Structure 1
Amino acid sequence: MGLLLKIVNAYRNPAAHESTNGQLMTDDIVVATDRLESIVERIFNESGRIEQASGNVLTMSETILRHQTEAVDGVEALNHFLQSVRHRAEDSSAQAKIMRETNASLEEDLRHATQALTDTSETFASLTGSTQRTSQAIYYLLEQMQHIAEIRNMLKNMVEQTSMLAMDASSEASHAGANGQTFAVAAGSIKELADSGKRSLLDIDLLLHNIRQASLEVLAVLDKNQQLIASNKEKLEDSHRFLSQVQGRFDVLERIISANEEACLGQVETVQKMAGQLTQLLNKSKESTRLAADVQTISAGQNSIVKHLLEASKHLTDISDEFSVVVKQRSEHVEIVDNPQFTIDTFAQWKGTMEAWAAQDGLLQSTPEELQELFQTWIEKTAALEAVWLNNADGDFLHSLPPAGIVNAKRRPWFTGALQDGFYISAPYLSAITKKPCVTISIRVAGKDGSRGVLGADIHCFVSEE
């Protein structure tokens, strides 16, 4: 800034600076111009980096906004799904409750049916006992009828004997004449009694036959009933066992329904907690979406500003280039000549030295501290060496001794010339650092890993006045 102010004041007030050496003023202008070019180039490079960073930020903000919007949509969909799951779980819990109540009612009906079957089984058992006792009574009646038949046979014999006796008495009475009249009357009475006994015996035979026939029919019916009762009793026992199994299954179903109901209630509680957390996450996601939208708006505005800055930097670069050309044209009265010792042999010697320096292993991978030590050694051992530096293939300085006045050398001819042709040597010019004439020599550096760079050096020259 002091140098520029000195130049401006010299042009504003020439009288006050008449004693100033014109050549020195021209040198100051050349140095200032070189520094201005470095500053403009730095602004241009930094503007490009800011534009790239701004573009990256804008792209990232757009990506974040898109992802955030997708996340909000996903959270809303998940929240809706959880609400649906909660409603389904509540419905399942309500259905489980209804099923449990229905199961309890069915279990009660099953218990009544089982009790009814038990009572029916007991009734069949009692009926079986009664039927057996009735059968035994009928068999006993048949046995007694056998005794009655024996008694009837005895009565039949008695009636037959009485009838024969009446016939004999009547025959004897007819032989007795008048004396046997009374005996004949008695014989007739006995005969009538025998005939009455015969008729009673016939009635008894019919009655015994009917009783026997009815008893046999009752026995047949009782036997069939007993068989039917036995068959139904087995079916009742099978039904009772089946109902017992059904009862056990109902118990298992009751436990399953109860466990399902508890699980549904626990699921509802868990879903409610998750829904609450998702609601909080949704609110935070919406807030993040709003912030991302704000960042995108700011990034878009910043990107627009950076573009304007880059355009202004380009215009400033063009102006600086024009100013540099004019200044160099006006300073042509200064003749910079080569060092008398800077002959073709000297040039070849410097080229060999630069090639030896560039061929050192791992030069491009060295740290700034290692390069500082190496460059310091070269400068101490080489009297004409004014400055030395190393750039990568992007033009960035890996290290410079003394520090470089620019950040990136991509637009410098010594950089592009060496990177393209392998070696470059400039015409003598006035150094912006020492204000003394010098020559720039640069050479391409290649690493074993395929990396490339440029090694450059400034060499002292002499100035002769016209």
Structure 2
Amino acid sequence: MIFARRAERKTRRESDWPRQEEKREEQKQIARQIVVAVDQLKAAMEQMKLAALSLNDISDSSRNSAAELMDHSEKTVEYIEKVAKKMRAIEEAAKEIAASSNDIHASSRQFSEQWLHSWNSLETLQKEIRTLRSHHETLLKQMNHLVHHSQRINQIISAIGEISQKTKILSLNANIEAARAGEHGRGFAVVAREIGMLASQTSEAVQQTQDILSLIQREIAATTDIVREETKQIDVEEKEMEAIMAFLHSLQRQLNDMTDLVSSSVQSASGQSDSVKEIAGLLEEIVQLSRENQRFVERVTADMNEQHESVGQILRINEALQKTAEELQQTIGRDWMRETISVDDAVVKNTIHKLSALLQSAPLEQMDEAMHRRVLDQFLSQNGEIEAVWSNRLDGTFVYSNPPAGLVNAKVRSWFQEASGGTVYVSDPYVSALTKHLCVTVSAPITDYNGQIVGVIGADLALSK
């Protein structure tokens, strides 16, 4: 009976063994998936942490910029208010200039009217001077004719005087002859005496007439000299009048130009006053907008402060999740990795050699995605022992990965940290985020022509039990 029961239990255990082995295999697969999920979660949290830190830096920079913008806005408002005050003063000055220009314009118009009246009076005076000069010239001509006529009269009187002298001599001769004739010549003597007396009177009249003509000629000569001097003076005054008229004509042109300038100045001052008034109004609007901007900046600053607090909460949540992920990895343990795993050192060394040759032959330092895709796809197809190949930038993001990367960012991976530090690295066995199977990663730095590290290249080697 006892032996039968033992045999039955043995048979039952032997029949349950395959199911237990299958269950253990399922548990290992689940554990691997959990490990991969935890790794992916840690990578995502690292990326989230980087994003949060970047957002925090941006938030700090935004707060600083907002503070500077607030300060600048306050200064802008202050400066604009000062400018507005100056513009109002300029507006008042422009109004005063416009008023003064109007007064000057009115005065210049009044002066122009007075000048026109004076010009007309001077033109009338100039015409009268020219008429007087013409009259003087006519008077000189008439006096010359009078002198000429008086000279003719003087000649005639001189002839009469000569005739009177001859008559007087003739009368004397007649008296002599009458005296000789005696009694018969007495009547003739009377006539001769009368003729002699008449001749004497005629001589006296001729002498008086000559004296009067001489006086008249002297007076005419003196008057002619005076008229000539007056004519010369009139000529001088006429020339001076012409000079005055020319000066006044030039003054009229300048006055007209000045009037036009004053008129233009009045219009400009009026336009300037309107423009300044418009500018002052615009400055008032700018002040209002600047004050609204200040309120917006205050609101943005408050939002930045809230965002800063939110980023702090995200970082604290990230730390808590990181700690939880590490505790989950420790809880799960790695007992399932204690099985016998075969790692071929020759394959690892050969892979390191191939990666080094690839880095020397291909221009991967350009970090061009298309070129990386072409080179890495060809490398993967030529090496069957490699199950995945990829490249990273120094910020942990992937340039290219075949198969597609199972991580958002590789910064938390030891193979990235070591290779980005300049070391060719071979990892311990771990579960690949790409294939969910055990693998070993070989990674190396990508350098440029100057030896500066610009990225990382990696490859996964599949492991067998």
The two structures have a TM-score, normalised by structure 1, of: 0.72
Q: Is the 8 A contact 2:43 2:412 kept in 1?
A: no
Among 216, 219, 236, which residue is 2:218 paired with?
216
> Which stretch of structure 1 is more off in the superposition, 190-199 or 289-298?
190-199
Local SS of the residue matching 1:136:
helix
Q: Does 1:48 align with 2:53?
A: yes
* C-alpha spacing 1:339/1:114, structure 2 compared with 1 (3 Å): farther
The residue aligned with 1:69 is 76
Q: In structure 2, what is the Cα distance between the partners aligned to 1:368 and 1:92? A: 75
Q: Does 1:147 align with 2:147?
A: no
Post-superposition offset of 1:147: 1.1
The residue aligned with 1:345 is 346
Among 135, 138, 144, which residue is 1:135 paired with?
144
Among 215, 225, 228, which residue is 2:227 paired with?
225
Q: Is the 8 A contact 1:444 1:455 kept in 2?
A: yes
Q: Is the 8 A contact 1:393 1:454 kept in 2?
A: yes
Q: In structure 2, what is the Cα distance between the partners aligned to 1:354 and 1:281? A: 68
* C-alpha spacing 1:140/1:263, structure 2 compared with 1 (3 Å): same
Q: Is the 8 A contact 1:438 1:460 kept in 2?
A: yes
Post-superposition offset of 1:360: 5.2
Q: Which amino acid in the other structure matches residue 205 of structure 1?
A: Q
Post-superposition offset of 1:113: 0.9
The residue aligned with 1:118 is 127
Q: Is the 8 A contact 2:43 2:409 kept in 1?
A: no
Q: In structure 1, what is the Cα distance between the partners aligned to 2:83 and 2:34? A: 66
Local SS of the residue matching 2:364:
coil
Deviations 1:8-41, CA, capped at 9 Å, x for gaps? xxxxxxxxxxx99876776566445434422321
Q: In structure 2, what is the Cα distance between the partners aligned to 1:356 and 1:72? A: 67
- Write out aligned runs for 1:304-453 (5 A): 304-332=305-333, 334=335, 336=337, 341-359=342-360, 361-363=362-364, 365=366, 368=369, 371=372, 375=376, 378-379=379-380, 382-383=383-384, 385-404=386-405, 406-410=407-411, 412-432=413-433, 434-447=435-448, 452-453=454-455
Local SS of the residue matching 2:235:
helix
Q: In structure 2, what is the Cα distance between the partners aligned to 1:396 and 1:269? A: 67
Local SS of the residue matching 2:337:
strand
Post-superposition offset of 1:298: 3.5
Structure 2 unmatched ranges of 5 or more: 1-22
Q: In structure 2, what is the Cα distance between the partners aligned to 1:363 and 1:77? A: 64
Structure 1 unmatched ranges of 5 or more: 1-18
Q: In structure 1, what is the Cα distance between the partners aligned to 2:448 and 2:278? A: 56
* C-alpha spacing 1:250/1:212, structure 2 compared with 1 (3 Å): same
Q: In structure 2, what is the Cα distance between the partners aligned to 1:123 and 1:62? A: 93
Deviations 1:172-216, CA, capped at 9 Å, x for gaps? 79xx8xx89x959x9799769956864774465245224303412
Q: In structure 1, what is the Cα distance between the partners aligned to 2:89 and 2:459? A: 70
Q: Is the 8 A contact 2:386 2:462 kept in 1?
A: yes
Q: In structure 1, what is the Cα distance between the partners aligned to 2:399 and 2:289? A: 40
The two structures have a TM-score, normalised by structure 2, of: 0.72
Local SS of the residue matching 2:421:
helix
Q: Is the 8 A contact 1:387 1:458 kept in 2?
A: yes
Q: Is the 8 A contact 1:391 1:398 kept in 2?
A: yes
Q: Does 1:105 align with 2:110?
A: no
Aligned residues: CA RMSD: 4.7
